[in-house]
């Protein structure tokens, strides 16, 4: 985590490990809409379905995927830069 | 204001849509819609708009629920027989979505009260079943600069159009004035397929949702007709009429009025 902080500053974090599809994406989308263009969101999600689908859906919305890191506890953190509309 | 986890879940299928998103859902939560008539058209429109999370919905009707209504007015149930339709409809809407503020207006619209009624809302849906009421709603909305959705259903046919101030014709541009009394039967005299009310009332709800969220294009300058027997939809272009008595260049109608002798029965 320390390393990412050096690469970009995180404006907000959202934990969607308590949600299932499609709420995982809905919560990610809602968290991104709260941010300004250029801000980075750190999104913690479960391995499996969320990690397969959420990054793709976020990308389809036009946002930029910066990095996906394995937290080695069954969860991943996705770093997304919000793009302006 | 941001949505709670519960709200994000309730409206998730809207929020996922690119055309709506969180922003569109917020606009819906701030929207105010008046539905005139808690009958065949008003029933699906009211249920879908409440379910959609529209912030405030007024529903106006002075009738009581009658056994012959239940074939199509799906917002009322057999237990509601004899109850005021506006109150019965409000109960169903609150049951679907307690977040929506529902205002039941137990009254028929007339020239005396329509101005004050429409003033409180952003969009008006015409769910009435008779021509004098349709012209009254048109004139009041044009004069108050309020967008509204006109709709009518009879037998196996339905039609609707949307008026937005400054964007195309009003109902009077297209239809000029009510036909002589009894020239056009109401659906109580002519009959109507219940599901027709579902189709057209749902289309009215869609127009309202699209208006608030900015998704797609509205039925302004067009009349959409539907024939259930042939399953054909037709979109007929409607021009604005410069000489229109209410929205034209030199309007002669400057206040809403009731047509003489009109029985203001709403969606029996």
Residue A85 has pLDDT above 70, yes or no: no
Tell me what the mean pLDDT of segment B170-184 comes to.
Answer: 88
| pLDDT one-digit tens code per residue, B61-113 | 999 999 999 999 999 999 999 999 999 999 999 999 999 999 999 999 999 99
d(CA B139, CA B238): 18
Contact residues on chain B for A61, CB-CB shorter than 8 A: 18
What distance separates the 2 farthest-apart alpha carbons in chain B? Answer: 55
CATH number of B21-237: 3.40.50.720
The alpha carbon of residue B22 is apart from the nearest alpha carbon of chain A, in Å, by 6
**Segment holding A40, helix H or strand E:** strand A40-46
Q: Do B2 and A23 touch (CB under 8 A)?
A: no
Topology adopted by domain A2-81: Translation Initiation Factor IF3 (3.30.110)
Q: Which residue of A has its CA nearest to B5?
A: A27
Contact residues on chain A for B12, CB-CB shorter than 8 A: 22-23, 26
The backbone torsions φ and ψ at residue B159, rounded to the nearest 5 degrees and listed phi first, read -150, 155
| Closest alpha carbon to B211 in B23, B27, B22, B9 | B27
Q: Locate the domains of chain A by residue range.
A: 2-81
Strands A75-81 and B32-36, sheet pairing: unpaired
Rounded to 5°, the CA angle B56-B57-B60 comes to 145
Q: Locate the domains of chain B by residue range.
A: 21-237
**Interface predicted TM-score (ipTM) over 0.95:** no
| pLDDT one-digit tens code per residue, B46-65 | 999 999 999 999 999 999 99
Q: Is B22 on the interface with A (CB under 8 A)?
A: yes
| Closest alpha carbon to B170 in B203, B208, B131, B141 | B141
Measure CA B260 to chain center. 24
Whole-number pLDDT of residue A5:
56
């Amino acid at each position: 985590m320390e390393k990412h902080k050096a690469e970009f500053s995180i404006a907000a974090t959202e934990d969607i490990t308590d949600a299932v599809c499609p709420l995982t994406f809905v919560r990610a989308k809602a968290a991104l809409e709260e941010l300004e263009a250029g801000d980075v969101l750190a999104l913690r999600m479960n391995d499996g379905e969320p990690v397969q689908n959420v990054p793709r859906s976020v990308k389809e919305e036009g946002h930029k995927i910066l990095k996906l890191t394995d937290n080695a506890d069954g969860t991943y953190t996705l770093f997304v830069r919000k793009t302006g509309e | 204001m941001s949505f709670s986890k519960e709200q994000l879940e309730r409206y998730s299928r809207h929020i996922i849509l690119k055309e709506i998103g969180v922003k569109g859902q917020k606009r819906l939560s701030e929207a105010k819609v008046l539905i005139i008539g808690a009958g065949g058209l008003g029933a699906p429109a009211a249920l879908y708009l409440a379910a959609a999370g529209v912030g405030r919905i007024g529903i106006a009707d002075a009738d009581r629920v009658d056994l012959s209504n239940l074939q199509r007015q799906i917002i009322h149930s057999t237990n509601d027989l004899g109850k005021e339709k506006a109150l019965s409809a409000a109960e169903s809407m609150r049951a679907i979505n307690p977040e929506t503020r529902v205002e039941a207006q137990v009254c028929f619209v007339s020239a005396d009260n329509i101005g004050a009624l429409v003033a409180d809302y952003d969009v008006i849906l015409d769910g009435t079943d008779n021509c004098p009421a349709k012209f009254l709603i048109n004139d009041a909305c044009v004069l108050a600069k309020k967008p509204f959705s006109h709709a009518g259903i009879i037998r196996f046919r339905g039609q609707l159009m949307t008026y937005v101030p400054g964007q195309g014709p009003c109902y009077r541009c297209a239809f000029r004035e009510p036909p002589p009394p009894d020239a056009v039967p109401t659906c109580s005299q002519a009959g109507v397929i219940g599901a027709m009310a579902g189709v057209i009332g749902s289309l009215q709800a869609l127009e309202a949702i699209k208006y608030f969220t900015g998704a797609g294009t509205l039925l302004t300058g067009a009349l959409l007709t539907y024939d259930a027997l042939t399953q054909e939809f037709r979109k007929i272009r409607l021009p604005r009429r410069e000489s229109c008595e209410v929205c034209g260049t030199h309007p002669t109608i400057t206040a809403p009025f009731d047509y003489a002798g009109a029985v203001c029965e709403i969606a029996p």
